[in-house]
Amino acid sequence: MLKLMKYLKPYSLLIFVAISLLFVQAQCDLALPDYMSEIINDGILSGNSNEVIKNGVFMLAVSLISAASSFVIGYLAAKVAAGTSRDLRVSVFGKVEGFSNAEFDRFATSSLITRTTNDITQIQTIIVMVVRLGIYAPIIGVGGIVHAYAKSQSLSWIIALGVLTLVCVILLIFLLVVPKFKMVQGLIDKLNLVVRENLDGMLVIRAFNTQKFEENRFDQTNQTLTKTNLFINIITSSMMPTMMLILNLITLAVFWFGAQAVSAFNLNIGDMMAYMQYVMQIMMAFLMLSMMFIMIPRASVSADRISEVLESEPAVKERDCVIPLTDVKGRLEFHHVDFGYPGAEELVLHDISFTAYPGQTTAFIGATGSGKSTIINLIPRFYDVTSGSITLDGIDIREVSLHELRSHLGLVPQRANLFTGTIRSNIAYGEVSLTEEEMQKSARIAQAMEFISSKEDGFDTHIAQSGSNLSGGQKQRLSIARALSKRAPVYLFDDCFSALDFKTDAALRAALKQETGQSAILMVAQRISTIMHAEQIIVLDNGRIVGRGTHNELMKTCQVYEEIALSQLSKEELT
């Protein structure tokens, strides 16, 4: 939590002013009972109506000052909280943008999203709380005790008793309820799980006629949830009446013992009434404080999650002095590359060496988990190799800047991530200077022209978040067109053809061959037919190269390749 303090620094002046005003406000609020006491003592009891009016006017002025301070404090607190959270969001977002895949794996994308949104909102809330109440409540608490003590020492024990009871009751409720809260969260998750499973498996459930079974499964969780919630509800709803009861009893105690003090001339009646009000203020302050202490652990969890992100350094870093890349031909070489995911014990790639030549297609095939996509991910340095090296035109890719390296690579990832905007903005993503002609050419090669022109708005068709208004095949084709717009010397296709039907797949490969000319193409595929005609096919099994060559060569020499081929095609089609 303290680590994020520096984000408050730009607002230290505002915070200082706010704290000063909080003192003013607290002093004003504490002064009101004093004036009331004067009204009673010097006014009413002495029958002096001038005193009544005079003190009344003072009271009015004081409460006006209090309200004005409170206004300004609210303004400052809002500025500080919203400003800090804005700054935090930019920092976190900027940081995450620079993360390599290793950090994304470590944190998980969904967690990074909540850290940037909900967790920061949490911080914003606590800042407002702390500025408005966290500082105000102790001032009132202490000030109230001082004022009360000045009026009467003999009644102090009532305050002590009241505060003690209050704190005990709150503590007790927490001890009872907090573990149950966690339980409820777990039960709700479980309920959600059952419903989600029911929705996902609706066909299966109906096919097997297991509706009753599912309803029972739901019912069991529902019953436990209901019981636990009932307990929590009963406890929490009794909190307010209990607080009221304590406050009332304390007031009563002040009255009873105060009355005796008044009769013994140890206390005057106005002071006794003021005393009652102080007691109220003190109790309220403690109530507020305990509420704050519930919030703080939650906020501090959020703060830790945020600082964790901010303190992570991306595993992939640029060298201080980088070699500039000029006139890249696209000869990509792996030299004895080993790779293991950060933190994992086992290597996923063992001693991988190959050369991908410009103008040729190098294809990778193998079972799931054999390391095909991992090879592709090493090239743009989403991860760095564990040992060995990768060179582009003879230069180690770690020697050049990330920006330059990536600008020479055209990647089509497995999942076609499109961005909100239009078809145009997606194809021209990152390439602001792309001409209309070039864009249409990319779309044509990617076999996307047909569906784009069938849309009413053509290239200006709106794309919803993550391209959810397009089919899988359409997204994939746009993602291919986007990569082609880069006119890169090296293209990386990471298993992006499986979302396409065979016909489109074939047409696309034909067009690609024609148009990409001297670029080197690296391609990961599941289907033999997609890669059958590649100049070089590399067969992977458990992270090792177990065969390389053309289709015909491999059919003779590589057993793994033959197995894959036979599982997909019949004998006659393979020749």
Partner 1 sequence: MSERRDASSNRRGPGGPMGHGMGAPAEKPKNFRATFHKLLQYLGTHRITILIVLILAVFSATFSILGPKVLGWGMTKLVEGLMAWQIGTGLLTDFDYIRNCVFGLLALYLISALCSYLQNFVMSKVSMKVTYQLRKELSEKMNRLPLKYFDRKTHGEVLSRITNDVDTVSLTLNQSLTQIITAITTLLGTLVMMLSISWLMTVVTFLILPISGGLIGLVMKKSQKHFINQQKYLGQLNGQIEEIYSGHNVVQMFNSEKAELEKFKGTNDELYHSAWMSQFLSGMLMPIISFVSNLGYVMICILGGYLAVKKVIAVGDVQAFIQYMRSFTQPISQIANISNTLQSTMAAAERVFEFLDEEEESPETDHPVSVDTVKGQVDFQQVRFGYTEEKIVIKDFSCQIKPGQSVAIVGPTGAGKTTIVKLLMRFYDLNSGSILVDGVNIEDYTRGDLRSMFGMVLQDTWLYHATIMENLKYGSFEASDEEVIRAAKAAHCDEFIRALPDGYQMVLNEEASNISQGQKQLLTIARTILHNPKILILDEATSSVDTRTEVLIQSAMDRLMESRTSFVIAHRLSTIKNADLILVMQEGDIVEQGNHDELLAKNGVYAALYQSQFSEGD
Restricted to residues 444-483, the positions that interact with partner 1 (CB under 8 A) are 465-466, 468, 471-473, 479, 482
Enter the tokens of residue 483: 């990569």
Q: Is 90 in the site for partner 1 (CB under 8 A)?
A: yes
Q: Is 24 in the site for partner 1 (CB under 8 A)?
A: no
Q: Is 234 in the site for partner 1 (CB under 8 A)?
A: yes
Q: Is 10 in the site for partner 1 (CB under 8 A)?
A: no
Q: Is 174 in the site for partner 1 (CB under 8 A)?
A: no
Q: What DSSP character marks residue 419?
A: -
Candidates 12-20, 134-142, 194-202, 327-335: pick the segment binding partner 1 (CB under 8 A): 194-202
Q: CA 34 to CA 45: how far, in whole Å? A: 15
The owner of tokens 């980088």 is 322
Starting at the edge strand that comes first in sequence, how are the strands of the sheet with 409-412 ordered?
409-412, 490-494, 520-524, 361-366, 536-541, 544-549
Which candidate, 68, 67, 66, places its Cα nearest to that of 25? 66
Enter the tokens of residue 33: 């009972």
Q: Is 40 in the site for partner 1 (CB under 8 A)?
A: yes
Which residue, 12 or 48, has its beta carbon nearer to partner 1?
48
Q: Judged by CB under 8 A, which of 160, 171, 176, 195 binds partner 1?
A: 195
φ, ψ for residue 535, nearest 5 deg: -65, -35
Restricted to residues 331-350, the positions that interact with partner 1 (CB under 8 A) are none
Q: Is 122 in the site for partner 1 (CB under 8 A)?
A: yes
Q: Is 44 in the site for partner 1 (CB under 8 A)?
A: yes
Candidates 185-193, 342-350, 351-359, 388-396: pick the segment binding partner 1 (CB under 8 A): 185-193
Q: Judged by CB under 8 A, which of 157, 181, 213, 293 binds partner 1?
A: 213
Which residue, 151 or 486, has its beta carbon nearer to partner 1?
486
Which candidate, 139, 49, 104, places its Cα nearest to that of 342? 104
x-or-dash string of contact with partner 1, 553-572, rule CB under 8 A: -------x--xx--xxxx--
Q: CA 451 to CA 442: how far, in whole Å? A: 14
Which residue, 368 or 433, has its beta carbon nearer to partner 1?
368
Q: How far is CA 173 from CA 179, 180, 249, in A?
A: 11, 11, 20
* Count of chain residues binding partner 1 (CB under 8 A): 160
Q: CA 109 to CA 86: how far, in whole Å? A: 21
Candidates 139-147, 149-157, 398-406, 438-446: pick the segment binding partner 1 (CB under 8 A): 398-406
Which residue, 353 or 472, has its beta carbon nearer to partner 1?
472
φ, ψ for residue 209, nearest 5 deg: 55, 40
Q: How far is CA 395 from CA 249, 321, 562, in A?
A: 82, 14, 36
x-or-dash string of contact with partner 1, 377-396, rule CB under 8 A: ---x-x--------------
Q: Judged by CB under 8 A, which of 31, 409, 534, 554 binds partner 1?
A: 409
Q: How far is CA 346 from CA 48, 233, 339, 486, 542, in A?
A: 91, 50, 9, 36, 11
Q: Judged by CB under 8 A, which of 19, 367, 395, 449 binds partner 1?
A: 367
Q: CA 234 to CA 226: how far, in whole Å? A: 12
Which candidate, 253, 271, 260, 259, places its Cα nearest to that of 157? 253
The distance of closest approach from Cβ of residue 336 to partner 1 in the complex, given in angstroms and rounded to an integer, is: 25
Candidates 1-9, 38-46, 134-142, 441-449: pick the segment binding partner 1 (CB under 8 A): 38-46
